[in-house]
Chains A and B, each alone.
Chain A
Amino acid sequence: MKKVLSVLVLFLFSVCFLTACKKNSDDVVKLGVVSNLSVAAQFYGEEVVNGYKLAVDEINKNGGFEVDGKKLKVELVIKDDAADASTAVTQYNTMVDDIDAVLGATITGTSIALSEACNADGMPMVTPSGTGDRITYDNGKLKSTVFRTCFIDSYQGTILAKFAKDKDAKRAVLYKCSGSDYSKGIADAFAAGASEYGYTVVETLTYAKLDDLKTSMATFTTKTLAALPDIVVVPDYTDEVRTVVAALRTAGYEGVICGGDGWDGVTEGYDHPAYFLNTFYATAIYPNDTTEKVAQFYAKYKAAFNDSSYDFYRNGHSEVPSMFAALAYDAVYLYAEAFKKAGTKDNAEVVKALKAITFDGVTGSLTFDSKNNPQKSAPILTFKADGSLEYYKAL
């Protein structure tokens, strides 16, 4: 018993000692990655890590992060949070003294927990994919060290409001699913934007769930046509979107219909893709975007994906990644820019540099607003008669 105890004490001592040696040497920058690499949403967790790896590898080929005139190699320390909030914090704590900044977490739940810990330690954190409002700003308080590269859901409403203005709309009809925070957030932001840009939301049609929408669609169609809109906004997911678009098109409405990234894949396997002519949606990135930066990113990702020497997650993934890989790629480059601006690895200085940054990434150029949420442009996509996507413009 005594023996066991002494071994235990020795072990605890050595743990204390090892953690006490803290901070890495001066010639590398260590980025701590917290992502869900098992259990729920593993696909996104892995996709994000692929994005980080691609960016880091590329940066190291060019010497690394430029800090105070010196090039420092970048290292990733990757931890799995198993999509669990407390595990995310535990994993962060195992590496906190060894890292210079945090990348992650991947989903909203873990990101909220992680953001509390990082903010308390003054540790810079950038999540590429946590869209929940509470990650950066909670209970009227800003978590000053926490940033993100994805836009929050409701920001798409602001983009759609801009889009309506761009289309010279005067009368908008707004569909809103009161049972979904996603839909409500976008709809409310759109309504706020509409009054700012000087056109009217003539009718708001609210439903609580898909079933309600189907039951009420005939009524909604009558009301929509009676409102004589020049734009109809449907911020929801594909099944709801199809229900609305099919009903309005068969009833003879040929005007603009638009929505957010919940529209992704709406024409896939759909029998009447022609209904989607003159419809538009805002998203974070478009794989077939021909702008040089985006095209290059997808080309590089594809090359790395098919190059077995790269330590990538491949099982279940495709060589054309989801937007999360691109947002993660941008998160690393965002740090590169911030470390360069700060000229030091000091946490407080890096945070200060992030706050003031103007960054031009593959998912658009961004600055941070008062709640540390990105203000960035988003590509607007439209459909051809066969249902395939077409780039419209960035707003």
Chain B
Amino acid sequence: MSQFFQYLLNGLSTGSIYALVALGYTMVYGIIKLINFAHGDIIMVGAFVALGSTSILVKLGLPPVLCVIITMVATGALGFLTEKLAYKPLRKAKRITALITAIAISFLLENLFAIRFSSRDKTSPTIFELGSFKIGNIDIQWKLVIIISILVISTSALTLFVNRTRMGKAMKAVSENPDAASLMGINVDTTISTTFIIGAALAGLASVMYVIYYSSFNNMLGSSLGIKAFVAAVLGGIGLIPGAVLGGLTIGVIENMVAAYIDPKWIDIITFSILIFILLVKPSGILGKNTKEKV
């Protein structure tokens, strides 16, 4: 039984990483209906930034935990730049054009990093020196506690931001109807940029969680993580903050349970079968509302 809880805890930790990544997909999709396939690769860039900044911080004698801020600023800036350079000019184009551009950026980043840093695995930086503690006979690693706490805190902050601040409300308005929002005096461009920055900064936070949890990463980190997080966002109901969290945690737990009780070879098969099943039953995702689109 103690092993079951261990697996559950592991599942919640991987799930937390998926959830935070899924939040980025969901926010961007919610506001401009774009599936930002480059989102996963922003996390990859974040992991490299975390690696580089940690070693610099250590050399300067500063606490390595400051790399969280550096990484979030760097990925936020990258998110801002990709939006300005690649997506904004396409705002009026067909949706497929922006989607293809997102895929292009994804490949661009993956291969640029492969050239610069080679495609071999890099060792994750040590951000915390952490051990574990015991509750009963369950061995709980501190890093799992930290990862899950990061998710709880960041999701709460994001929810408050969206519901309580002017900018947050502007985001909701733009996602409802950008034209009406601009008539009400909302600066749509600024709002979209802010969404991208927040989504990408969350990706930076996810990079830090990733390097805390996994011992290594490479330039392809974003491709599988990105797809799983995207699936999580769709599973929970894309465009919804609680949906992304629920979807992420669900997939994390399922994966770990499959690895523990069935066979790791079945992870992808079972995860994606569940996705297909849920979408057949409820196309808008677990928490999604069934809205009919008016023609």
Measured CB to CB, the residues of A under 8 A from B are 178, 205-208, 211-220, 222-223, 226, 238-239, 242-243, 246-247, 250-252, 270-272
A220 proximity list for chain B (CB < 8 A): 259
Residue of B with least CB distance to A178:
B265
Asked if A219 and B256 sit within 8 Å, CB to CB, the answer is yes
B132 proximity list for chain A (CB < 8 A): 252
- Counting CB contacts under 8 A, is B13 at the interface? yes
A-B contact pairs, 30 of them (CB 8 A): A205-B264, A207-B265, A208-B265, A212-B268, A213-B264, A215-B259, A215-B267, A216-B255, A216-B259, A218-B7, A219-B260, A222-B3, A226-B3, A238-B120, A238-B121, A239-B216, A242-B121, A242-B215, A243-B121, A243-B215, A243-B216, A246-B123, A246-B215, A246-B216, A247-B215, A250-B215, A251-B141, A252-B132, A270-B123, A271-B126
Residue of A with least CB distance to B255:
A215
Q: Which of B196-229 contact A (CB under 8 A)?
A: 214-216, 218, 224
Asked if A271 and B264 sit within 8 Å, CB to CB, the answer is no
Asked if B123 and A215 sit within 8 Å, CB to CB, the answer is no
Report how far A208 CA is from B269 CA in the complex, Å: 12
Report how far A245 CA is from B259 CA in the complex, Å: 19
- Counting CB contacts under 8 A, is B176 at the interface? no
Which of B13, B120, B216, B268 has the largest number of chain A CB atoms within 10 A? B216
- Counting CB contacts under 8 A, is B53 at the interface? no
Report how far A243 CA is from B6 CA in the complex, Å: 19
Asked if B123 and A219 sit within 8 Å, CB to CB, the answer is no
- Counting CB contacts under 8 A, is B14 at the interface? yes
The B interface is mostly helix, strand or loop, or mixed, namely: helix
Asked if B216 and A212 sit within 8 Å, CB to CB, the answer is no
Q: A219-B256, A271-B125 are in contact. List 14 more A-B contacts (CB 8 A).
A: A205-B264, A207-B264, A208-B265, A215-B255, A215-B259, A215-B267, A216-B256, A217-B214, A222-B3, A222-B260, A223-B3, A238-B121, A239-B121, A247-B215
Q: For residue A343, give the distance in angstroms from its CB to the closest CB of chain B.
A: 52
Q: Which of B1-28 contact A (CB under 8 A)?
A: 3, 6-7, 10, 13-14
Measured CB to CB, the residues of B under 8 A from A are 3, 6-7, 10, 13-14, 120-121, 123, 125-126, 132, 141, 214-216, 218, 224, 255-256, 259-260, 263-265, 267-268
A216 proximity list for chain B (CB < 8 A): 255-256, 259, 264, 267
A206 proximity list for chain B (CB < 8 A): 263-265
Asked if B120 and A239 sit within 8 Å, CB to CB, the answer is yes
A223 proximity list for chain B (CB < 8 A): 3, 260
Report how far A272 CA is from B215 CA in the complex, Å: 10
Residue of B with least CB distance to A210:
B121
**Of the candidates B13, B121, B224, which one forms a contact with A218 in the assembled complex, judged by CB atoms under 8 Å apart?**
B13
Q: For residue A204, give the distance in angstroms from its CB to the closest CB of chain B.
A: 11
Report how far A94 CA is from B132 CA in the complex, Å: 68
Residue of A with least CB distance to B13:
A218
- Knowing A215-B259, A222-B10, A272-B123 touch, does A208 contact B264 (C-beta < 8 A)? yes
A226 proximity list for chain B (CB < 8 A): 3
Residue of B with least CB distance to A214:
B214
B14 proximity list for chain A (CB < 8 A): 215, 218
**Which 6 A/B pairs are nearest by Cβ-Cβ distance?**
A246-B215, A218-B10, A216-B259, A216-B264, A219-B259, A271-B123
A217 proximity list for chain B (CB < 8 A): 214-215
Residue of B with least CB distance to A222:
B6
Report how far A213 CA is from B119 CA in the complex, Å: 17
Which of A207, A216, A243, A251 has the largest number of chain B CB atoms within 10 A? A216
